[in-house]
Chain A
Amino acid sequence: MNETLKEAKELDKKYDLLITINENEERGKPIVVKDNICTQGLRTTAGSKILNNYTPVFDATVISKLKKAGFYTLAKTAQDEFGFGTFSTNCAYKTPKNPNDVERSCGGSSGGTAGYIKASKLVSYGLGQSTGGSISCPAAFCGVVGLTPTYGLVSRYGLIDYANSFDKIGPITKTVKQSAEILNIISGFDGKDPTTISKPAEDYTQYCSKDVKGYKIGVMKQFFSKDVPEEIRKSLWDAIKKLENKGVKYEEINLPLQDYVVPVYYLLATAESSTNLAKYCGLRYGLTKDLEGHYNEFFSQVREEGLGKEAKRRVLLGTFIRMVGYRNAYYLKALKIRTKMIQEYKKIFKKFDALIGPTMPVLSPKFTEIEKLTPVQNYLMDASTIPPNLTGMPAMSIPVNKKGLPIGMQIIADHFQEGKLISLGSAYES
């Protein structure tokens, strides 16, 4: 057995990070991939029991592109079912443990990928996917780099969807430069995903060495409240001062509409996911039963058995929101606030190159603490990662402390300004 495969088995045993390991000893550069990204011939479950036996007959576009660039999928990583979670604790299979402290969460929903990149000595590249913060959050809790691209920069073909107008595939790596390398490979228009954007290709690695002198950043004041642990606030200010020493100017700002981002996000994301999950009905793929009884009974039984508690909760919520009588008050209203938010953020980015704040309002919590959270308390944890995801803007989380539990700094930029994130991230790293 080669060393990379051996390490995968050891790390999985120790931290429960992987759902499926690719046993073929493949050649090339290894990458670990979130389990909601289809890999031909390699089981893909999206962390759900309803896809327990699903083996795709095709590759997601990002996987085809990575293969062409010399990568192979080493393993599929543990995640919240369909991405429904902030802590990778809504899993049908394993709950990944944070390599920094096994009593704590890796963050979610791309928890397995982030945990693996932190723990591995041999693998530096991973793929995650974000709907409302699922790349940034685990990157912050595990202490690695996570880059959430602009909506539409990377093809979603072959991604098992959560909420189509939010979902983005992006890199989780050890360094900023490695994220730029992966973005070079996976970005670009794809005829199989009509929401991808046609624009000239960029070499994102060139931004790693770009001088950030004269950059203007907005420090997002709301994320530095007294409720946020002091060590997080201190690490962030130290990082901002480090950037200031490199010629970056900053100003503190208040984000518009911040009080509404959690409800608007969960309204839209659950409405979309309740329609997306309608396809899991036990016929063409996934969990099934013998064809007995009336079709409604058949579908309801398959879904009762195959979907976990949080998936059921979100499907019910999304179904409720879309019902006649509630659709205008909830769904349509949320879509209008989304427009307003994008317009307000566009105004901010006329003045600033980027926004900076802590990625998460807490250090990675213990599993025993997570168990006690109500659904509403749980959703509120996403308040700082939601804004870029709602507006479709790119964001990056990079680790900003060396000792203790990892702390992430989130940098947000305007649509298609990934280059600025990479420049600022690299300037901090160097």
Chain B
Amino acid sequence: MEVNEETVRHIAKLARIKLDEKEVEQFKKDLSSILELFSKIENVETSDEFTIQPVESNNKLREDKVEESLSEEEIFKNTKHKEEEFFKGPKIK
């Protein structure tokens, strides 16, 4: 499958990754050859059963009671974007 530059720019936008022109060119080439490898799987006959987890596990619920968790100081320890007790983000508009 051939991926064009427009598609690479579109998925980069969806993935929120800024690319320069050289990268667009490089990933266009890489993605095309990788997707060609992927297209092989069309030939496999399967049933409709699909696997999300390779080993089955049942839902396990804990008792609904308060447990110890991180302190406010710990939660904000790795950011400089803090205001009062909130994470501060960039402008939406």
Chain A residues engaging chain B, CB cutoff 8 angstroms: 53-55, 57-58, 150-152, 165-166, 189, 191, 194-198, 257, 259-260, 262-264, 266-267, 274, 278, 281, 283-286, 288, 291-301, 303-304, 307, 312-313, 315-317, 319-321, 323, 329-330, 332-340, 342, 374-376, 379, 390-393, 415
In the complex formed, the residue of A with least CB distance to B12 is A316
Check A317–B31 contact: CB distance below 8 A: yes
User: Closest Cβ of chain A: how far from B22's Cβ, in Å?
Assistant: 11
- Please report the C-alpha to C-alpha distance between residue A284 and residue B60 in the assembled complex, in whole angstroms: 29
Check A294–B27 contact: CB distance below 8 A: no
Chain B residues engaging chain A, CB cutoff 8 angstroms: 3, 7-8, 11-12, 14-19, 23, 27, 30-31, 33-35, 37-38, 40-42, 44, 46-55, 57, 59-60, 62, 70, 74-75, 77-81, 87-93
Check B38–A54 contact: CB distance below 8 A: no
User: Closest Cβ of chain A: how far from B14's Cβ, in Å?
Assistant: 5
Check A340–B11 contact: CB distance below 8 A: no
Residues of B within 8 A of A286 (CB): 78
User: Closest Cβ of chain B: how far from A56's Cβ, in Å?
Assistant: 8
Residues of A within 8 A of B88 (CB): 291
Check B87–A283 contact: CB distance below 8 A: yes
User: Closest Cβ of chain B: how far from A430's Cβ, in Å?
Assistant: 31
Known: A295-B92, A316-B12. A165 touches B54 (CB 8 A): yes
Residues of A within 8 A of B30 (CB): 313, 374-375
Check B49–A336 contact: CB distance below 8 A: yes
Known: A293-B90, A295-B91, A336-B49. A198 touches B77 (CB 8 A): no
Q: What 5 new A-B contacts, CB under 8 Å, besides A281-B16, A335-B50? A: A57-B75, A286-B78, A293-B91, A333-B46, A375-B33
Residues of A within 8 A of B11 (CB): 316, 319-320, 323
Residues of B within 8 A of A198 (CB): 60
Known: A320-B31, A336-B47. A392 touches B16 (CB 8 A): no
Q: Which of B62, B77, B81, B90 contacts A55 (CB under 8 A)?
A: B77
Nearest 7 Cβ contacts at the A-B interface: A392-B54, A285-B78, A335-B50, A304-B18, A336-B46, A298-B90, A57-B74
Check B60–A194 contact: CB distance below 8 A: yes
Which label, helix, strand, loop or mixed, suits the secondary structure of the B interface? Answer: loop
Check A337–B41 contact: CB distance below 8 A: yes
In the complex formed, the residue of B with least CB distance to A330 is B38
In the complex formed, the residue of B with least CB distance to A333 is B41
Check A339–B50 contact: CB distance below 8 A: yes
In the complex formed, the residue of B with least CB distance to A335 is B50
In the complex formed, the residue of A with least CB distance to B44 is A337
In the complex formed, the residue of A with least CB distance to B39 is A263
Q: Which of A298, A316, A390, A392 contacts B27 (CB under 8 A)?
A: A316
User: Closest Cβ of chain A: how far from B48's Cβ, in Å?
Assistant: 7
Check B78–A264 contact: CB distance below 8 A: no
Check B57–A316 contact: CB distance below 8 A: no
Check A267–B38 contact: CB distance below 8 A: yes
User: Closest Cβ of chain B: how far from A192's Cβ, in Å?
Assistant: 10
Check A54–B78 contact: CB distance below 8 A: yes
Check B81–A283 contact: CB distance below 8 A: yes
Can you list 27 residue pairs at the A/B interface with Cβ under 8 Å?
A55-B77, A150-B55, A151-B53, A152-B53, A165-B52, A165-B53, A257-B44, A263-B37, A263-B40, A267-B41, A288-B80, A293-B91, A295-B90, A297-B90, A298-B90, A316-B11, A316-B15, A316-B31, A320-B31, A329-B42, A332-B50, A336-B48, A339-B49, A339-B50, A340-B47, A342-B51, A375-B33
Check A291–B40 contact: CB distance below 8 A: no
Known: A284-B79, A293-B90. A312 touches B16 (CB 8 A): no
Q: Which of A294, A376, A415 contacts B55 (CB under 8 A)?
A: A415
Residues of A within 8 A of B48 (CB): 336
- Please report the C-alpha to C-alpha distance between residue A266 and residue B27 in the assembled complex, in whole angstroms: 16
Check B37–A379 contact: CB distance below 8 A: yes
Known: A313-B27, A339-B50. A301 touches B55 (CB 8 A): no
